[in-house]
Amino acid sequence: MTKTKPDSVECTLVIVKPDAMQRRLLGVIIQRLERKGLVMIAGEMRQLSRPLAEQHYLSHKGKYFYPRLMNFITSGPLFISVWKGPGAIRRVRTLVGATSPDKAAPGTIRGDFALHTTHNLVHASDSSEAARREIALFFPAIEFPEITPTDSDWLVPNE
């Protein structure tokens, strides 16, 4: 029997959107990410400017939902954060759930709390390339602290 290597440690971006902030779900979302062994290494509450939102969602420009998305994402405060851990991108995407709350599995953030596809509570990077681009967009030229949680031996076994 061959042992599989544990997921490599990586970083990903998570945005807790205005609807989650208005519904006071930030703590619940952070708690779910932490319980999965991920560590927040940067976080900031801010109001997203239209130009920055357009840069972030450039791949959706021209799609039918784009104007509604721009209005929504700039409508109120949000929380932008960087998370680190083994297989962080995959783990976060799994915890967040499908884009549509109707298709998101129970137990996921969107499956449990989201009410509408546009107001789906959270954005999470979908690939390592996207994570690098998005982190650089929201946290340019920042050096992230090295945080080693006490449970790190359980999360990434030494083998």
Looking at the annotation, which residues are catalytic? 123
Please measure the distance between the N-terminal and C-terminal CA atoms of the chain and give it in whole angstroms: 15
If you search the block for the tokens 């700039």, which residue do you land on?
74
**Cβ neighbours of 61 (radius 10 Å):** 10
**Which residue type sits at 11?**
C
User: Which residues have CB under 8 Å from 131's CB, separation 6+?
Assistant: 10, 11, 12, 13, 89, 125
Q: Smallest Cα–Cα separation from 134: which of 73, 58, 75, 72?
A: 58
User: Which residues have CB under 8 Å from 145's CB, separation 6+?
Assistant: 41
Q: Which two tokens stand for residue 95?
A: 């915890």
Nearest 5°: phi and psi at 33? Answer: -65, -40
